[in-house]
């Protein structure tokens, strides 16, 4: 394994940065390629068939091009629909991002937990299965929001975003029957940790959790013993759509300096 072989992170947009950040903290010298399928963004309003066809094909092309040591699907929507297809299609290790229902069920005292994701994610059988296996004694309330995805993108672009709009977009979860007893909410879309501070302020008695730290540990475990460059090389981002210059300052904060097209 060449020390220069990168970690590849993949999302529809900028959400995967919430997985990249804790990974870079654990593996500071890791070369990083961040790929965003902006031409098909957002994934959350697409059909299962579209995602299942698109994501493995795109990741196949990306792996050919950047030769990563490991691929992270830093997107709950793509992972809950296409993780098995991607693993079957690629010959590199693939880490998925699936809703952190297990840790939520381990810590909830009220036994009422929430899953806040995209519309596509919250209807997946994968989520039914996680709830049945790890949260069988909990009430699991779900809400899918496309607005929250857009608000996270706008915030990262540096546009003015009203925290009240973020809180309002999440409110239907709390308005479900039993919602007043929610004490733990899974941020089941990688865009949402980028809005967590505002959700926490509005719901101080609720723990908002996501899988970022656990996924970072998994990546570190799978690459243990491998060689890395002596110093962190500049990170690269690749986009399927037009290169979004407005996002460049935010990407620099995550160590990504080079933007290009896929
Ligand atoms: N960030 C993605 C996720 O974790 C998808 C957002 C979208 O494109 O709808 O589900």
Domain ranges of the chain: 7-97+213-261, 101-210
CB of 233 shorter than 6 A to ligand 1: no
Establish whether 189 is a catalytic residue: yes
Tell me if the pTM is above 0.95.
yes
Q: How far apart are CA 83 and CA 127, in angstroms?
A: 13
Q: Which of 118, 143, 147 to mutate to test the pocket of ligand 1 (most atoms within 8 A of CB)?
A: 118
- 94, 122, 140, 189: which one is catalytic? 189
193 ligand 1 Cβ < 6 A: no
Distance of CA 110 to the CA centre of its chain: 26
CA of 43 to the centre of ligand 1 (A): 6
Structure tokens at 67: 């030769």
What confidence score (pLDDT) does residue 1 get?
Answer: 85
- Cα(79) to centroid(ligand 1), Å: 10
Q: How far is the C-alpha of 74 from the C-alpha of 95, rounded, in Å?
A: 8
Helices 76-89 + 125-134 axis angle, to 10: 100
Asked, colleague to colleague, whether 7-97+213-261 and 101-210 share their fold, the answer is yes
Query: Given ligand 1 and candidates 37, 81, 149, 154, which is best to mutate, with the most ligand atoms within 8 Å of its CB?
Result: 149
Name the 3-class secondary structure at 110. coil
Q: Which atom of ligand 1 is nearest to the CA of 16?
A: 1
Q: What is the pLDDT of residue 5?
A: 98
Measured from the Cα of 41, ligand 1's closest atom is 8
Summarize pLDDT for 125-171 with one digit per residue, the tens. 999 999 999 999 999 999 999 999 999 999 999 999 999 999 999 99
240 lines ligand 1 (CB under 6 A): no
Domain spanning 101-210, CATH architecture:
3-Layer(aba) Sandwich (3.40)
Nearest atom in ligand 1 to the alpha carbon of residue 146 is 9
Q: Specify the pLDDT at position 182.
A: 98
In this prediction, the residues of the chain whose per-residue pLDDT falls under 70 are none
CATH of domain 7-97+213-261: 3.40.50.1860
What pLDDT is recorded for position 97?
Answer: 98
Could you tell me the distance, in angstroms and rounded to a whole number, from the CA of residue 174 to the centre of ligand 1?
21
The active-site residue, picked from 7, 20, 27, 75, is 75
Q: Is the dihedral of CA 83, 215, 17, 66 positive or negative?
A: negative
Ranges of H-type helices in 138-260: 146-156, 163-174, 196-202, 212-222, 248-253
């Amino acid at each position: 394994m060449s020390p220069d072989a990168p970690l590849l992170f993949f999302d529809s947009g900028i959400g995967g940065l919430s997985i990249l950040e804790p990974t870079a903290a654990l593996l500071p010298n890791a070369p990083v390629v961040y790929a965003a399928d902006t031409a098909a963004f957002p994934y959350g309003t697409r059909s299962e068939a579209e995602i299942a066809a698109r994501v493995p094909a795109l990741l196949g092309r990306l792996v050919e091009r950047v030769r990563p040591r490991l691929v992270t699907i830093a997107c709950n929507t793509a992972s809950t629909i296409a993780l098995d297809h991607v693993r079957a299609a690629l010959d590199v290790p693939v880490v998925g991002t699936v809703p952190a229902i297990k840790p939520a069920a381990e810590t909830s005292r009220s036994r009422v937990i929430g899953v806040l994701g995209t519309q596509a994610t919250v209807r997946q059988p994968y989520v039914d299965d996680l709830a049945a296996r790890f949260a069988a004694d909990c009430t699991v309330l779900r809400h899918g929001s496309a607005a929250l995805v857009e608000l996270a993108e706008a915030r990262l672009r540096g546009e003015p975003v009203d925290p009240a709009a973020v809180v309002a977009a999440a409110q239907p979860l709390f308005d479900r029957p039993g919602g007043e007893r929610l004490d733990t909410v899974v941020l089941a879309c990688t865009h949402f940790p980028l809005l967590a501070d505002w959700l926490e302020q509005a719901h101080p008695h609720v723990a908002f959790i996501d899988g970022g730290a656990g996924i970072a540990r998994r990546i570190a475990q799978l690459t243990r013993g491998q060689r890395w460059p002596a110093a962190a090389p500049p990170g690269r981002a690749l986009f399927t759509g037009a290169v979004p210059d407005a996002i460049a300052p935010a990407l620099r904060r995550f160590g990504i300096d080079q933007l290009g097209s896929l």
